[in-house]
Amino acid sequence: MRLARAVERPWRFGYDLDMGEARRTRKPSRSKTYAASGVSLIAADEMEDRIGPLVRRTYGPRVLADHGGFAGAFRLDFGEKLFRRNYVDPVLLSCTDGVGSKVLVAARARRYDTVGIDLVAMSVNDLLCAGAEPLFFLDYIALHRLDPAVVQQLVAGVVAGCEQSECALLGGETAEMPDLYRPGTFDLAGFAVGVVERSRMMSPRRVRVGDELVGVSSSGLHSNGYALVRRLLLDEARLTLDAAPRSLGEPLVDALLRPTRIYARAVKAVLGRYRGRSAISGMAHITGGGLEGNLPRILPPGCRCVVRQGSWPIPPIFGLLARHGVADDELYRVFNMGVGYVFAVRPRSAAAVVRTLERAGECAFTLGRVIRGEPGVEFR
């Protein structure tokens, strides 16, 4: 579990403090020590003390925490009266993703508490597209120097993302690698596992001509296209992170580091309402590649999507990018343009699905429909 792989010891939420004290008080030789090579065992101990209570906040009755510290344990079926949940034909799904170069903005701003939410969102939102219940999450944090306060903020973000997703942070790893990462830099990777009954698993075979497309608003850029965003706004336009362009209505750093929206509760609300019916035929997480890159992933042969431009609100950050030279077709090819998640819905249920999403706290709208044609997306 979590600990610097370079440090080569398991990370346990119930860490043996006596071992830690022995490690802290031992007098190493002046030359051939781990610390001399750039890896701090003392910082690793402090990090564990800081983040253990955070991680335990994500534990539910299905997490087994008394089996030892080398792996996380999670029960799929369990029979407690209050939380009974048993599967007939379960299918496990897994996803992995990162945050991309958004971490460079976080490092530059020295603001580390939101990219952990992004990390969870990028994998969990993908799991949801299959109709899966997120079960647990694992993270990997690599940095130049193990600063316990920085790692605590990063993990606090991961914990917040897991709480929004209603899944457990079951373990992770932190690697201190001064020879690989520049001072002040870090990277993140995440791994999510979910489960769905095979009979309820989403498939492109369910989507039909005539289905309506119900979209849910994004919170902004989410975690895609940051190589272009950084080059355009920070390098070429030389905007500072604390700049507040009038068209944006907020400091640039807030717009760039606003975390990816997690749609777990919204999807749960919709699928719970239509559990016994076939109203929902498909779901798509709109990430890199935008609508035209992600909607075709839920289409069967012979189906095509028509999207009505102007039928949803577009966050100001995309207007700022347009004013600095990004053409409309490039914006729609790279970014979500304000649509973070899409449901394919039977026409008779589209209005009701929009109302369900709004009651769940989302901004929802009908943005298009499925027509006959070659798989793809056309904007009208």
Residue 358 CB: number of other CB atoms within 10 A? Answer: 14
Contact 99, 152 (CB under 8 A): no
- Min mean pLDDT across 19-28, 105-114, 282-291, 315-324 is at 19-28
So what's the pLDDT on residue 73? 86
What pLDDT digit, counting tens, does each position of 121-145 carry? 999 999 999 999 999 999 999 999 9
Neighbour-count burial for 132-170, b at 16+ CB within 10 Å, e otherwise: bbbbbbbbbbbbbbbbbebbbbbbbbbbbbbbbbbbbbb
**Statement: residue 18 has pLDDT above 70:** no
pLDDT band at 12; cut points 50, 70, 90: very low
So what's the pLDDT on residue 34? 52
pLDDT band at 62; cut points 50, 70, 90: confident
So what's the pLDDT on residue 70? 74
Q: pTM, whole model, 2 decimals?
A: 0.86
**Statement: residue 237 has pLDDT above 70:** yes
What pLDDT digit, counting tens, does each position of 65-104 carry? 776 667 888 888 877 766 667 889 999 999 999 999 999 9
- At 63, phi and psi to the nearest 5? -85, 130
| CA–CA dist 129, 350 (Å, integer) | 18
Tell me which of 178 and 55 has the higher pLDDT. 178
So what's the pLDDT on residue 144? 93
**Statement: residue 26 has pLDDT above 50:** no
**Statement: residue 20 has pLDDT above 50:** no
**Statement: residue 231 has pLDDT above 90:** yes
> What does the mean pLDDT of the chain come to?
87
**Residue 148 DSSP SS3:** helix
**Statement: residue 28 has pLDDT above 50:** no
The domains of the chain, with CATH numbers, are 17-200 (3.30.1330.10), 204-379 (3.90.650.10)
- Min mean pLDDT across 53-57, 253-257, 355-359 is at 53-57
| CA–CA dist 273, 233 (Å, integer) | 43
| CA–CA dist 72, 12 (Å, integer) | 10
Average pLDDT over residues 229-250: 94
Average pLDDT over residues 290-316: 96
So what's the pLDDT on residue 282? 96
So what's the pLDDT on residue 112? 96
Residue 269 CB: number of other CB atoms within 10 A? Answer: 18
Average pLDDT over residues 321-340: 95
Report the run of H or E that residue 165 belongs to, with start and end.
Answer: helix 148-165
Structure tokens at 129: 């597209």
pLDDT band at 264; cut points 50, 70, 90: very high
What pLDDT digit, counting tens, does each position of 153-173 carry? 999 999 999 999 999 999 999
Average pLDDT over residues 176-185: 92
So what's the pLDDT on residue 293? 95
